[in-house]
Amino acid sequence: MARRRDTLPPTATAPLRAHAEVAIIGGGIVGLAIAYNLARLGCSDVVVLEGRHLAWGASGRNGGGVRQQWSTELNIRLMQESLEICRGFAQEIGTNIWMRQGGYLFLARTADELGKMDKAIALQNSCDVPTRRLDIGEANELVPELALTAFAGACYNPTDAIVFPWPFLWGYAQAAAKRGVEIHTFTPVTAIDGTSDGFALHTPKGVVRAARVVNAAGSWSPQVARLVGLTLPNWPARHEILSTEPLKPFLKPMVSVLDSGLYISQSLRGELVGGITVHEPADREVRLGSRLAFVEEMAHGLMEIMPRLGDLKIVRQWAGPYDMTPDGNPIVGEATDVPGFFLCCGFVGHGFMMAPVVARYYASHLTGGPTHPLFDKWRLGRFVDTATEREDMNIG
């Protein structure tokens, strides 16, 4: 995608401003979307500090899915709004994100999974999401290439979508920069000092003082939090994806297997893009290397549901970090023990799809607008107040 230099956000060669009202640490989709929405509301005294180049982290390494199939009302409502923002993104931002609404098809193996699926469908339908249960025959009518003898049923929502991650990220960056936000790449924050009126953030380019700081560093957010003496409960988990040679278009929906986490979709250019969960010990380190074990497990999973793809060639594979939390929900809001230090992290594998709507409410919160219930539901203190359990069956 060709991009003019004068539309790019500032890079490592730009000088760092001395003061800002808000400093956002992390130039992924969450941080950039918050920056854009702050500027849209009139707060353009914002600086974004990214340690690498844009799209280097999880935001540039994901599958681009945007779905409304969740099993909690909060997530469903948020994703309805997020999908609407995506629909209007090209008109509002001026960037084509190649959105296509082919739906999500979830496959279930067991009666227990089907029971949970039915409850989720009923809740989604009550929120006007048109998800429906399919038997195996109906699923095969939707995707004839699927071999579904190992599955008990499925659910399908035709309005779920996929967008192209890179222009989505660049669109927010360029729109924020046009409204006065400074975006500094290759500018990691190495230390944070408290000051009488906020914080002093130390970087290789100098020090910027900010009244408020937003930690939107994703899987790197615990490291950032430690700079202010704060311990976060989230941790990184490697998630890998592969892309194949292009095929004639045949796969309209994103297909996902509930128990394994396998998902596969077809790009506009014909490649199949997908991933599967390969568990490894949680050691709190961000790992981005690719593994043969992933290719083997993905091949087995894909051959189970589409054996006709046995001769398909893999073109490339890559990894990105999921930002895990004990209950599978994000961490947002001001840190009680560090006034002025805000958190927006822990989105597991769905920060990309939730960023548009969460960023709107976050910007409103920071500028004195109404506070959305997500700030209470997803506050950091919940991990201390009570034991937490994973709420949503469709995490990923």
pLDDT at 14 > cutoff 80: no
Reduce the secondary structure of 211-238 to three states and give it as a string: EEEEECCHHHHHHHHHCCCCCCCCEEEE
pLDDT at 118 > cutoff 70: yes
Angle at 183 between CA 179 and CA 184, to 5 degrees: 160
- 16-61+165-234+327-385: CATH topology is FAD/NAD(P)-binding domain (3.50.50)
pLDDT (0 to 100) of residue 286: 85
Each domain of the chain, given as residue ranges in start order, spans 16-61+165-234+327-385, 101-159+235-323
* Separation CA 20–CA 156 (nearest Å): 46
pLDDT tens readout for residues 31-56: 999 999 999 999 989 999 999 999 89
pLDDT tens readout for residues 227-265: 999 999 999 999 999 999 999 999 999 999 999 999 999
Mean pLDDT of the chain: 92
- The CATH class of the 101-159+235-323 domain is alpha beta
Q: Name the more confident of 186 and 388.
A: 186
Strand ranges, E, within 189-297? 191-195, 198-203, 206-215, 235-244, 254-257, 263-266, 272-275
Asked if residues 285 and 319 have their Cβ atoms less than 8 Å apart, the reply is no
Asked if residues 169 and 32 have their Cβ atoms less than 8 Å apart, the reply is yes
| This model's pTM is above 0.85 | yes
Task: Report residue 22 as tokens.
Answer: 């808000």
* Separation CA 248–CA 166 (nearest Å): 24
**Spatial CB neighbours of 390, under 8 Å, sequence gap ≥ 6:** 327, 328
Diameter of the chain by CA atoms? 66
pLDDT (0 to 100) of residue 25: 98
Confidence of residue 392 (pLDDT cuts 50, 70, 90): low
pLDDT tens readout for residues 128-185: 999 999 999 999 999 999 999 999 999 999 999 999 999 999 999 999 999 999 999 9
- Short-list 125, 108, 343, 93, CA closest to 218: 343
- Top mean pLDDT of 194-198, 225-229, 277-281, 286-290 is at 225-229
pLDDT at 9 > cutoff 90: no
pLDDT (0 to 100) of residue 290: 86
Percent of the chain at pLDDT exceeding 70:
93
Asked if residues 108 and 258 have their Cβ atoms less than 8 Å apart, the reply is yes
* Separation CA 354–CA 119 (nearest Å): 22
Task: Report residue 256 as tokens.
Answer: 């996902």
Average pLDDT on 358-364 reads 98
**Spatial CB neighbours of 381, under 8 Å, sequence gap ≥ 6:** 336
| 106 strand-pairing partners | 155, 256
Handedness of CA 285, 286, 291, 297 (dihedral sign): positive
384: exposed, middle or buried (Cβ count in 10 Å: 0-12, 13-18, 19+)? exposed
CATH topology of 16-61+165-234+327-385 equal to that of 101-159+235-323? no
Over the Cα atoms of the chain, what is R_g?
Answer: 21
pLDDT (0 to 100) of residue 281: 76
Confidence of residue 277 (pLDDT cuts 50, 70, 90): confident
Confidence of residue 100 (pLDDT cuts 50, 70, 90): very high
Asked if residues 383 and 376 have their Cβ atoms less than 8 Å apart, the reply is no
